Amino acid sequence: MRVLDKGLWLWTGLEDESERRRVISEHLAGLVGCPAEELVVERDTLGRPFIARPQTDLQFSQARRDGFVVLAASEQGAVGVDVDLLQPGDWQGKLAGDFFAPKEKRWLDSLAEEDRTFGFFRLWTGKEAVLKALGLGIAQGMAEPDFSKIIALRQSFLENSAQLSARGKLFHLEWWSLEIDAISIVVCKATQDS
């Protein structure tokens, strides 16, 4: 396990679903101060997981991709997290056209080819993290939250943090770009500001 930030952890090599559940359950139990067998995680009507027992203000989000697992937790408000591999490919343009807001797609297309993959995954992980914090998924598309105002200032979007308003709530986003065992990944955590 690696601690990426306060309230953000990364595990590698967790391919097995039952092992992944066990590790996350034990970690969450440690955060709320109870034995893992007493921790009860349920899902709300939108499918967002929450700790039903013991009583706690701790909110969490998790994401996984190819053996990488990230967990974000916060007692200050909603939190969302996403992880993805930095994989170049022609498919990004099609996916961006299908899911991103028009200004985001134009910005992505304006990037030099060597920056496009990085830009795509910054947008993708940021959108997923915010949607998870809101308790939504990508089924309705990813045009919202709209990062257009942030990427209008290209340099600020390529930095490791940003603020974004979505559905009347303000979120603080942070990104980590890591190389682990010759695999490049991007992690994004979105925390709702109080």
Task: For residue range 151-173, list pLDDT tens digits in order.
Answer: 765 555 667 888 888 888 999 99
Domain 2-81 maps to which CATH number in 3.40.50.720, 3.90.470.20, 3.40.50.1100, 3.40.47.10? 3.90.470.20
**How far apart, in whole angstroms, are the C-alpha atoms of residue 129 and residue 86?**
16
**The predicted structure's pLDDT at residue 108:** 87
Q: Tell me, what's the pLDDT at 90?
A: 78
DSSP per residue over 48-93, as a string? Answer: -EEEEES----EEEEEEETTEEEEEEESSS-EEEEEEE----THHH
Element (H, E) at 11: strand 8-11
Can you tell me the mean pLDDT for 29-40? 96
The two three-digit tokens of residue 143, written as one number: 């045009």
Specify the residue for token string 């994401």: 63
CA atoms of 4 and 70, how far apart (whole Å)? 9
pLDDT tens column, 73-132: 999 989 999 999 998 887 778 888 888 889 889 888 888 888 889 889 999 999 999 999
Q: What is the pTM of this model?
A: 0.91
- Architecture of the domain delimited by 85-192: Alpha-Beta Complex (3.90)
Supply the pLDDT for residue 156: 52
Categorize the per-residue pLDDT at 17 as very low, low, confident or very high, splitting at 50, 70 and 90: very high
